Structure 1
Amino acid sequence: MLRTTAVLVMLTLAISAGAQTTRVEAIAQEQEKKAAQLGAEGPSEAERIIRRVLISPLLAGGDGLYPWFGSVFGGSGMAIGAGFLKRLPNAASANVMAGVSLNNSILMEGKFSAPELWHGMLRVDGLARWTDARGVSFYGLGPGSAKAARERYDYQPTEFGGDATLTPQRWLSLSGGYSWLDIDTQRDFPGLTGDLAPGIGEALQYNVTRGTVGIDWRTSPGYSTRGGFYRATVVKHAEKNGLPFSFRSQEYEVVQLLPLVREQFVLAFRGLATTTHPEPGHDVPVMLGPFLGSGSTLRGFRNRRFTDRHRLLLSGEYRWRPSRYLDMAVFVDAGKVAPETRQLTLKELETAWGLGARFHGPGFTALRMEVAKGREGLGIIFAGSQVF
C-alpha cells in the first residue's frame, strides 16, 4: 500500500512539473512573438536620421573642402558658400571660406587657431575678413524710432586681427586682442545724412583693442543644460584718420541654466548690457553702435530695429527635451536702447515671445528654428548656434 502511494505521488509531481514547463515555454514563445512584432527597444527612426546628420562630415569638421551655410551679415538673408579646413599639429587649424547671401552680400574670411599652447592654457586666434553687406537697415536713433522710417546703406568692413586667451582654470578665461579695421559705407537714399546717422558716408579706419574676463562653468558653450556664463568686455575704437568717431564700449553678460528633473527640463536666463562712451567732441558710428532686433537680440523684431548708444536685454526660456537630439523652448525677450545710461531702466521695455526647436549634439547646436511675436509682427529665425 505504501509503495503504491509513493508511485502515485511521484507520477503527480512529474505531471505537474511537465505542465509548469509547458506554461513557461508558452509564455516565453508569446514574449518572443510580441518582441518580433514590436521590434527591439532603441532610438526611433527620426532619432537615427538626426544622429546621422549630426555626425556627418559637414558638422564633424573634417579636413578638406566643405559646403558652408549661414549668414554674411545680420539681415542679409540666408547665405551659401564653400570653405577649406586644414588640421595642423597640436590641434591647430587653418580655415578659409567665402559665401554669398540672397541679397548679394558677400563674405570672405580666413581664420587660424592654435588652442593648445603652453600646456593647453593658451589659445591664439588670427582673423582676416572682408564683408560687403548690402541694404543694412537703419530706423533712426533712439527707442522711439518708427518702423516706417527705415533707410538702408551698404557696409564694407575689412578687418585683420588676433586674440590671445589664457585659461588658468577650466572655468576662467582672460583674453586680449587687437584689430585693424577699415570701414566704407554708401548711402542708398539721399535722406540718410550724417546728422541723422553718424558715420554713414565716412571712410573710417580704426585701431581696435579689447579685453575680456569670462567665467564659464557650462558643460559646453555650444550646448548645455546646466551651469553659468559670466562675461565682462572692454573695447576701444581709436579712429586713425583724425575723424571724430573714437569711442569706448563696455559689455556685461550673465547666463544661468537651471536643470529640472534630471536635466529633461531647463530654465534658462540671460542678461546683457552694452554701453558706449565717445571721446569729447566725438560720436559713435551707427554701424558700430549697440542695437536690438535679430535672431539673438529681441527676437520678433526686424534686424537692427532699435539703435542707440546703450542697450539692455533680458531673456528667459523654458526648455524641454522630447528627443535625444531635439530641444523645444518657449521664450520671452525684453529690452530697450537709450541715449544715456541712466535711462536703462525696466520701464517701457520692448517685448517679444515665441516657440523654438533646436537640433543639437552633445556639445553643439546644429540648427535653431524659431517663430517670435513682437508688437510689429511675426519673425521667423533660422540659425546655426544656440541663442545663449
Structure 2
Amino acid sequence: MSLKNLLLLLITALFLAGCTTMAPKENLPFPLTNQEFADPVKVVSIPLPIIASSPNEGITFGALTAFLLHNKKEEVSTLVAPQVNYNKNFGTTATLFATFYPVEDRYWEVALSKSTKVNEDFEFKLRDSTLLDKKLELNAFLFSLTDGSARFFGFQQTSQKANETNYADQETGFNLSAGYQIFRHVQLVVGERFKKVDIKHGAITKVPFIREKFDPAEVPGMDGFTAHAQKLGIVYSTLDSPTLPTWGGYARVAVEASVKRLGSSADYRHYEAEMKAYYPLMNAKFISVGRLAYNQTLGHDVPFLERSILGGETTLRGYGRNRFIDSSYFLLNLEERIRLFRWEIFDVNADWEIAPFIDLGAVMERLDKASTRSFEFNPGIGFRAVVRPNIVGRVDLGIGKEGPAVFVGLGYPF
C-alpha cells in the first residue's frame, strides 16, 4: 500500500473513531488532569483531516485526533492532538501537540514534531499570571527547530520573486519575560532573548540554495549568528481575555538591545509599537478587530533574520513567512469575525466563524521613506472553530501578488 493510500485510510479510521468517553481520573495523571477535574473525566475525541497549502511548504495532507479533556465546569482544560502529515518536500511528519490550563490564568503548551526529511520542531511555552495577587505575569518559550522551507528573496519591498532562494533555518534558544502591573491596566515588561542560528541546506530542491545567489558579505547572518537581547516595554490592556478577547483595547511599546559584549554577533536595536482593538456587536456575533504595528531595527551588520520582517500567517497572509525584509515595517490588519452559528459536535460546544480580512503592509529603510506604491494589499477570508475559553482552530486564505496562500493552525492571528 502506498503512503498516500495509507494516510487516506488513517483519515477514514479517525472519523469513525470520534466519540465521547468517561475515563477514570487515575488513568489520566497530572498534567493531563488536576484537582479541577471530576472523576471520571469527560474525554471527547475529534478526528480531523489536514489539508494545507502555503507558498513556502507546498501542499500538506494528513490527519489528527484532538482529545479534549473537560474539567468540572465543562470547560476544555487540556487538549492533546497527535497527528501524521505527508509533504513531498519533508516526507512524513509525526507531531504531538498539547496545551494545558491547570488553573485560570496559567497555561502550558508543548509541541514535538519530527519529519523524515530536514524538519523538526521541539517547543515549550508557559504563561503564568497567578503570582503576587495576579500582578506578576511570567512568560517562557524554549525551542529547538529546523525549518527546511525557509526562503530569502533579498532586502527591501522590491525584492523579486525571481531571486527566491531556499535554506534550512536551524534555531535553538529561549524567550523569557516578566510583566508587573504598575497601574490598573498598565504593565511594565522586561525580557531576555537568546537564539543560536545556523543556515543549512533546505528541503526545497527546485529552488536555489541561498548561498548560490547571495554573497554572505552582503547578507549578514547567512553563515549563522547568535542573538542575545534584552527588552524593556510598557503594555496597556483592557482586553476581556488574554487568549480569546471579544472587546477592549491593547497597546504596546518596547525597545530591545542586542550587544556584542553579551554574546550577540552584532550590536543593534529593535523599536516596536503595536495597537489592537476589539469591538463587538449583537452580543459578539460580530467582532470588528484591528491591529496597527510598526517595527524598526537600527545597527550595523544586523543578521537578516533579526531585521524587520513581514509575511506569513500572522502578518501578510497573502505571502509565505519572511517574504519581505528591511530595516523597518508598517503593518495594518483588519478583520470582521462573524459567528455563523453555535454547534455541538462530539459533545463540544463550538462557535463557527467566518472572518473576511485585509492585510496591508510594507517594509522600508525607515518610515519617512515609505511609498504608497510599496504597500502590499492582501485581502482574504478565514474560517475558525472556537471552543471557549481557550481554543481556536483556523484556516486563513490570503491573496497576494504572487498568488494565494493558505495557513492552517491554532489561535487567532492577532
Question: Per the shorter chain, which TM-score range?
Answer: 0.7 to 0.9
Greater radius of gyration (CA): 1
Partner of 2:28: none
User: Amino acid of the residue matched to residue 57 of structure 1?
Assistant: L
Query: In the superposition, relative to structure 1, how do residues 125 and 228 fare at CA in structure 2: closer, same or farther (>3 Å)?
Result: closer
User: Amino acid of the residue matched to residue 221 of structure 1?
Assistant: P
Between 246-255 and 312-321, the greater mean CA deviation after superposition? 312-321
Identical pairs, percent: 22
User: Amino acid of the residue matched to residue 215 of structure 2?
Assistant: T
Partner of 2:133: 119
Q: Is the contact between residue 358 and residue 365 of structure 1 (CA under 8 Å) also seen in structure 2?
A: no
SS in 1 for 2:148: strand
Q: Is the contact between residue 365 and residue 386 of structure 1 (CA under 8 Å) also seen in structure 2?
A: no
Partner of 2:399: 373
Match of 1:334 among 338, 356, 360: 360
Q: Is the contact between residue 207 and residue 240 of structure 1 (CA under 8 Å) also seen in structure 2?
A: no
User: How well do the aligned residues superpose, as a CA RMSD in angstroms?
Assistant: 3.5
Query: In the superposition, relative to structure 1, how do residues 164 and 144 fare at CA in structure 2: closer, same or farther (>3 Å)?
Result: same
How many residue pairs are counted as aligned between the two chains?
Answer: 330
- Residues of 2 paired with 1:94 and 1:262: CA distance? 30
Q: CA deviation at 1:262?
A: 3.1
Query: In the superposition, relative to structure 1, how do residues 102 and 322 fare at CA in structure 2: closer, same or farther (>3 Å)?
Result: farther
User: Amino acid of the residue matched to residue 192 of structure 1?
Assistant: F
Match of 1:258 among 258, 269, 279: 279
Question: Are residue 306 (structure 1) and residue 346 (structure 2) matched?
Answer: no
How do residues 21-32 of structure 1 correspond to structure 2 at under 5 angstroms? none
Q: Is the contact between residue 90 and residue 114 of structure 1 (CA under 8 Å) also seen in structure 2?
A: no
TM-score using structure 1 length? 0.74
Unaligned 5+ segments in structure 1 are: 1-47
Partner of 2:198: 184
Query: In the superposition, relative to structure 1, how do residues 128 and 378 fare at CA in structure 2: closer, same or farther (>3 Å)?
Result: closer
Question: Are residue 166 (structure 1) and residue 188 (structure 2) matched?
Answer: no
How do residues 1-388 of structure 1 correspond to structure 2 at under 5 angstroms? 56-57=68-69, 60-62=76-78, 66-67=80-81, 80-82=94-96, 96-100=110-114, 104-111=118-125, 113-169=127-183, 171-186=185-200, 188=209, 189-202=211-224, 204-240=225-261, 245-278=266-299, 282-324=300-342, 325-388=351-414
Q: Is the contact between residue 123 and residue 164 of structure 1 (CA under 8 Å) also seen in structure 2?
A: yes
Partner of 1:13: none
SS in 2 for 1:382: strand
Q: CA deviation at 1:124?
A: 2.7
Query: In the superposition, relative to structure 1, how do residues 95 and 382 fare at CA in structure 2: closer, same or farther (>3 Å)?
Result: closer
Q: CA deviation at 1:236?
A: 1.3
Structure with bigger strand share is 2
Partner of 1:25: none
Query: In the superposition, relative to structure 1, how do residues 331 and 92 fare at CA in structure 2: closer, same or farther (>3 Å)?
Result: closer
Q: CA deviation at 1:172?
A: 2.5
Q: Is the contact between residue 257 and residue 267 of structure 1 (CA under 8 Å) also seen in structure 2?
A: yes
- Residues of 2 paired with 1:78 and 1:359: CA distance? 26
- Residues of 2 paired with 1:87 and 1:264: CA distance? 26
Q: CA deviation at 1:273?
A: 0.8
- Residues of 2 paired with 1:251 and 1:243: CA distance? 20
SS in 2 for 1:145: coil
**CA offsets, 1:336-364, max 9 Å, x none?**
11123322354531111011111112333
Query: In the superposition, relative to structure 1, how do residues 270 and 197 fare at CA in structure 2: closer, same or farther (>3 Å)?
Result: same
Q: Is the contact between residue 206 and residue 240 of structure 1 (CA under 8 Å) also seen in structure 2?
A: no
Query: In the superposition, relative to structure 1, how do residues 69 and 196 fare at CA in structure 2: closer, same or farther (>3 Å)?
Result: farther
- Residues of 2 paired with 1:290 and 1:146: CA distance? 18
User: Amino acid of the residue matched to residue 69 of structure 2?
Assistant: P
Between 353-362 and 99-108, the greater mean CA deviation after superposition? 99-108
Query: In the superposition, relative to structure 1, how do residues 110 and 142 fare at CA in structure 2: closer, same or farther (>3 Å)?
Result: same
Partner of 2:9: none
- Residues of 2 paired with 1:270 and 1:91: CA distance? 24
TM-score using structure 2 length? 0.70
Query: In the superposition, relative to structure 1, how do residues 168 and 363 fare at CA in structure 2: closer, same or farther (>3 Å)?
Result: farther
- Residues of 2 paired with 1:237 and 1:70: CA distance? 39
Q: CA deviation at 1:248?
A: 0.3
SS in 1 for 2:322: coil
Q: Is the contact between residue 69 and residue 78 of structure 1 (CA under 8 Å) also seen in structure 2?
A: no
Unaligned 5+ segments in structure 2 are: 1-19, 21-42, 47-65, 202-208, 343-350
Q: CA deviation at 1:247?
A: 0.8
User: Amino acid of the residue matched to residue 144 of structure 1?
Assistant: T
**CA offsets, 1:194-239, max 9 Å, x none?**
134221013x233210122111212223323321111112111223
Q: CA deviation at 1:382?
A: 0.9
- Residues of 2 paired with 1:77 and 1:292: CA distance? 28
Query: In the superposition, relative to structure 1, how do residues 353 and 103 fare at CA in structure 2: closer, same or farther (>3 Å)?
Result: farther
- Residues of 2 paired with 1:291 and 1:190: CA distance? 22
Q: CA deviation at 1:365?
A: 4.2
SS in 1 for 2:362: strand
Q: CA deviation at 1:253?
A: 1.0
User: Amino acid of the residue matched to residue 191 of structure 1?
Assistant: K
- Residues of 2 paired with 1:138 and 1:151: CA distance? 5
Partner of 2:204: none
